[in-house]
Amino acid sequence: MIRRLIILLLIVGCVPLTISNIQSAKIVDKGKVEFTPSVSTTLNTFNLGVQTAYGLNRKSNLRFRLERIFIDACDRDDNCENSFFNYKFNLTHLSFGLKYQLIKNKSAIYLPISFTKEDESADILKLIEPTYIHTFSSEKNTGIINEFTLSIKALYPFRPETKVKDALLVYSIGLGISGDIDKWVIRPELSFLGGGVGFPLLSIGLSIYP
């Protein structure tokens, strides 16, 4: 399963991993929560997910993410079993980690561990995903575009022999659109792998602050 995921990722370009970010550099206040349901899509792939953040203190959040990934790379005029590159399968992605503020409302680091499993396999793809996030915020709540966020993420296989050169880099560009940024933010985002590997992943989420 892991070999199949890596080949699909690097050669077919379906990007069957949850590479999007869909968050800003801002930290949720202590004791507060943030919920962000989202959808993402690229070639032959559709993702449905939700993230939640909990404020541990004024500088750090604990974040969780659950996502379902649906991949349909089958040629309708062929049988999926006739080619290595023809697949139709679903996966579940779970990740969690600590987000820490570097500069208030401007930059943060997020250190999650992720687990991705195909429904019909017992194998689990485990990754460490250190992420740097930088957000440019509007001084006024204009009700149009309040945030512009850039992030870079490294995907490291979770195994002892992993080297720095084994990492894949993910770049994301996102916006924060809101009429009341303290209560809700719409987050469209474009993510892509460094080196031109695969197709860009287009995502949109809605952050809610109850």
Q: Quick one: average pLDDT of 142-160?
A: 83
Model pLDDT, residue 161: 63
pLDDT-derived band at 14, boundaries 50, 70, 90: very low
Contact yes or no for 81/64 (Cβ under 8 A): no
**DSSP state at residue 85:** T
* Mean pLDDT in residue range 28-36: 97
Q: What is the C-alpha to C-alpha distance for residues 167 and 179, in angstroms, rounded to an integer? A: 38
- Please check the confidence at residue 65 and state whether its pLDDT lies above 60: yes
The answer to whether residue 175 scores a pLDDT higher than 90 is yes
Dihedral sign, Cα of residue 128, residue 44, residue 148, residue 141: negative
What pLDDT score does 28 carry?
96
- What does the chain come to in residues? 210
Q: How far apart are CA 150 and CA 132, in angstroms?
A: 8
pTM: 0.85
